[in-house]
Amino acid sequence: MAELLPLLLFFFTMLVLFSGFPVAFCLGGSSLLFALAASALGYFDLNYLTAIGPRLFGIMVNETLIAIPLFIFMGITLEKSKMAEELLEVMSKLFGSFRGGLAISVCVVGGLLAASTGIVGATVVTMGLISLPSMLRKGYPSSFSSGVICASGTLGQIIPPSIVLIILGDVLGSAYQQAQLEQGIFSPKSISSGDLFRGALVPGLVLMGLYIGYVIFYSVTFRKKFAVEIIEKTEGLSWSLLSRTLKVLIPPLLLVVGVLGSIFAGAATPTEAASVGCAGALLLTSLRGRMNFKILKQVSLETTKLNAMIFSIVIGANIFSLVFRGLEGDEIVQSFLVQLGGDLGFIFLIVMAMIFFLGFFLDFFEIIFVVIPIVAPILLKLGMDPVWLGVMIALNLQTSFLTPPFGFSLFYLRGVAPAHLKSSQIYQGAIPFILIQIVMLMLVYLFPQMTQLLD
């Protein structure tokens, strides 16, 4: 009976999450209820719950997590600057002479916004409002158009600075230290969000390149019957267009290079770089004449709401983790994975398949805070490189934005898409890009040195 309790806790929590109740209360509330029930049966020591206070204080004083509200503030500020609209305009004209040029420009702008704003919802909604009507008008198939926009918007989850990578860096850092302590290493090494930023940049750019490659392949090979329609009419390449392109591109690129460059060079931590990024975003938005007190108030309120949501989930997940460990769930999971037999690669494949499957029903926050603290120490103790593991998990989690029925990127686009565009067409358009992400996972698995090129 005792061995079944952690499994029952996990499935009970998942069931409560599907109810639609706020995630933080689902995680914390279901865990506390289960702890009380297990204690009444004599299987849980309520003294474990006394650790909740120190854990919450540890969250409050965690300097790494301060980067989350700062990067959110930076991203929302840049979104209010209307930078995305101008980028889409100039890029569509720049790539307009290419077959599928508008779709290519959506991929490129998705990558640029990922490195500057990193907010999936804002990126998908903006590109959906501006690019989707234009793509449909120029003859692009509905499913293909929606797939390009949804997938490009998710690049913000893997291209730094990414909220996913910041949270993963904190969770994996704790798991890595735990794994080393269990191995008898009492001066454990650590990893940071900056390490994951360095590891994820090249795979993120390669993934964007695969998206563009698919767009070109699709436009040339599969849609020859309307190839003429999707060659956009442009003013042609001119000094005027180049100067406008540089005017729009250089400011956000300088900001991105300044933020990421300081992190990669070791001159600043992600938190310090994020604070500089906030100042740069405010300056850039002000120079563009987009900043006033009303907008600043909106940015602050949106940042506060997102930050409160994230950290309430962190608190709930910490309570879940505490109860799960109190029921010796981590030891039971470790024993189960070892008993599966096979090598480390087989165990890793099982874990990644589980994360991919959960992505159909849960968002990345829930998976990171519930699943990763359970399985990561096991994989790290067996000798996996923490940075490579973090990048693989981040790429896997990125698919959760595209996998129906609860892919958030699909819902964001559905909210702004024309009424005649069916949800089934949006789902259909996401399938090729999910397959591309799986290919990217295989590439990073086969060539782990991709995550070490910036070390």
Burial group, residue 341, by CB count within 10 angstroms (0-12, 13-18, 19+): exposed
Q: Phi/psi at 81 (nearest 5 deg)?
A: -75, -5
pLDDT confidence of residue 17: 78
Measured CA to CA in angstroms, residue 16 lies from 36, 189, 368, 373, 401 at distances of: 17, 37, 17, 20, 21
Could you tell me which of 410, 439, 438, 445 has the C-alpha nearest to residue 425?
410
Rounded mean pLDDT, 419-444? 93
pLDDT-based confidence at residue 230 (cuts at 50, 70, 90): very low
Q: Phi/psi at 118 (nearest 5 deg)?
A: 70, 15
3-state secondary structure of 289: coil
Could you tell me which of 199, 204, 194 has the C-alpha nearest to residue 267?
194
pLDDT confidence of residue 95: 77
Rounded mean pLDDT, 326-340? 80
Cα separation of 280 and 285, whole Å? 8
Measured CA to CA in angstroms, residue 254 lies from 20, 67, 115, 259, 262 at distances of: 41, 20, 11, 9, 12
415 strand-pairing partners: none
pLDDT single digits (tens) 68-88? 899 999 988 988 888 878 888
> Which amino acid makes up residue 188?
P
Chain centroid to Cα 111, Å, comes to 13
Measured CA to CA in angstroms, residue 30 lies from 34, 317, 321, 324, 375 at distances of: 6, 11, 12, 11, 21
Q: Considering the entire predicted model, what is its pTM?
A: 0.88
Does pLDDT of 227 surpass 70?
Answer: no
Rounded mean pLDDT, 119-125? 79
3-state secondary structure of 380: helix
pLDDT confidence of residue 224: 57
CB 364 within 8 A of CB 400: yes
pLDDT single digits (tens) 363-383? 788 888 888 888 898 889 888
B/e letters for 196-222, b = 16+ CB within 10 Å, e = fewer, are bbbbbbbbbbebbebbbebbbebbeee
Cα separation of 189 and 380, whole Å? 12
Q: Where are the alpha helices (DSSP H) in 138-269?
A: 142-153, 163-182, 193-217, 239-264
Q: What's the Rg (C-alpha) of the chain?
A: 23
Does pLDDT of 387 surpass 90?
Answer: yes
294/454: higher pLDDT: 294
pLDDT confidence of residue 225: 46
Does pLDDT of 210 surpass 90?
Answer: yes
Rounded mean pLDDT, 417-445? 93
pLDDT confidence of residue 437: 95
Could you tell me which of 209, 227, 206 has the C-alpha nearest to residue 100?
227
Cα separation of 27 and 318, whole Å? 9
Cα separation of 158 and 174, whole Å? 21
- Tell me the two tokens of residue 179: 């794994």
Cα separation of 323 and 52, whole Å? 10
Cα separation of 155 and 209, whole Å? 11
Does pLDDT of 231 surpass 60?
Answer: no
pLDDT confidence of residue 226: 46
